[in-house]
Structure 1
Amino acid sequence: MSVVIRYVKNGCILEHFIGVIHVLNTTAASLKAAIDQLFSTHSLSISNLRGQGYDGASNMRGEYNGLKALILKENPSAYYIHCFAHQLQLALVAVAQKHPKIETFFTIVHRLVNIVGGSAKRSDLIRENQRLKILESLSIGEISSGRDLNQEITFQRPGDTRWGSHYSCLINLITMFSTIVEVIEMIATDSTSTGTRGDACILLELMLRFEFAFNLYLMKKILGISNELSKALQRKDQDIVNAMKLVQICKTQLQTMRDDGWDSFLGVICSFCETHKINVPDMDDMFVTVGRSRQLNDRFSEANSDLLICVACLSPNNSFAAFDKFKLIRLCQSYPVDFDAANILELDDQLDTYIIEMRTSKDFEKLQGISDLAQKLVVKNKHEVYPLVYKLVTLTLVLPVATATVERAFFAMTYVKNRLRNRIGDQWLNDSLIAYIEKDVFYKIENDVIIERYQSMRTRREQL
């Protein structure tokens, strides 16, 4: 289990990896005991926790026996946020599985990956054919050469839990479409390809249909819009209010595409079909539409709880247009450990002065997001003038947006615990991961300090 802490220092949001823990099983009770042990090692306390975020697995987010519930029983102020990036991925997967034609399309894509990338020989054939096509395009001036241009492309399998993998797969499929068609034709006519010729023939027929091209570009467009959102959500300094705004922008883009994007979208598909000699049907024929999915709206409502509705009132956008004092007071009541009755009465008066200064001061114009507000409050020393408001802002910022930092920590293990160090112990693995992931922190430590620390660990024959 990988653990990352999120906190605010001088108005800036920071996320740092603090360790990886070897757990014997993944039950919520075992995970809770491991976290308690880790917190005790670092002199941290569950009582100071103000937010927790996971990827949505049942043992983590279970309402009664999940890790979230166990922590909330001990500390009701440790509010749970389902990772926004995982919610987005799950929404897209749910849409694809709910619509039979889209589910069929991705089944075809998976089979293409299995056949084309099913052996080293076919992968080499793809690369060689693509290389020859690039050389031909360069020779006739269709494409330009230069640094970082015309890089080698691989056709990788998309995964439901790998953010952006479906989008990358479809981009590469469009880029290498003619090459993949040629390779599929070779397999379909190769007498030595026993067992795969039948699949290759079926896939070739399906690929050269308008329906496949349509679904290919449709999902590329939808996943492209959501891919930008996914990347934005994975920023370490992202705050919860801005994340909600980004989700709304994504939904607006999808609605605009649905309402006004047909003509340009169809033009792109027809051009693609013409290039690859795919027949385009008559668009004036009768066609009956089926029900549309609303999964993105279902998973990303305007606010998932009363807490997020109140948090949105802190946003500085549009001259603090969302400010609502009564909702902010209600937000304080959600943190009884941090705001007692006297603090709430004091904040009631402090908010009146605060909002007048915020709306009239040029220093606080054009701020984007609560993280910008927090940093500006510290720069202008207003965090000392409005300490209760600043505390409310920091409590908002520590609410996790996505578990991207945790995912990166897991990915880093492939570099630290590699083939040559596959027997590395738990403690060494943990220490190596911290040094690798938090390299920016370790760069600030002087060599003399390291030498002195090493020398003082035990008596040595010689001084370094």
Structure 2
Amino acid sequence: MWNLIKKTDKHKREYKIRVNASILATYGLLNGALSFRGNDEFKTSLYRGHFIELLKLFGVTNEEIGKVILSNVPKNNQMMAPSIQKEICNCSVAEVVKKIFDELGDDVFSILVDESRDVSKKEQMDVVLRYVDKFGFVKERFVDLVHVMETTVLSLKKAIDELFAHYNLILSRIRCQGYDGASNMSGEFNWLKALILKENSSTYYVHCFAHQLLVVVALANKHHEIFKFCNKVSSLVNVVGVSCKWYI
């Protein structure tokens, strides 16, 4: 284990440069929603993944960084292990969420929830907050992705309660709840919408507009004349949108 306390000022300064380079690479990848790991991260690989390649680029463009990263330092202090990447990501998430709740303050908000399976077939629930900031702009902010054992009503309600407890939120501040049309989410009796309404009668339910639009599209496709009209409008929008003279 690399012990920073026993190192000299020179080693500490180099360590700080290395950490800052790793944080900067993490910020760039998170901002672009890019993957960190590569398919082949061995030194003989032509491309060792976005994270390592970004560090190599920093080293090429900045000689001071290049001297203290990757193979120029001991293997136990290169700051590019998956666990370190994940730790930096978690710190970034904490800072972003803190900024969201600072912007929200003590005001009321709406909650948007949906659930689905990921590629590993694990059930997950995403939570989005919708609120108006101090400048009067409507904001929608993704807060968390919670893995749940199952998508039953009680399981989802428990996950929401735990999430609210973690972020010091209370149900009495909710003024609206939005879900899809699934029965376990928006059913009238003993479903998620009803359970939240029992605790706060001001949490009015609004059906997800995107799911409503899917229904409209499905019905429109059954009507030949409406389908032809929508198809022509879509083609026209595509032609105008890709034209370099659309603004004239």
- Same fold, judged at TM 0.5 (above): no
User: Bigger radius of gyration, 1 or 2?
Assistant: 1
- Structure with the bigger percentage of strand: 2
Q: Which has the higher helix share?
A: 1
Question: TM-score, normalised on structure 2?
Answer: 0.41
**TM-score (ref. length: structure 1):** 0.23
Between 1 and 2, higher relative CO (CA 8 Å, sep ≥ 6) is seen in 1
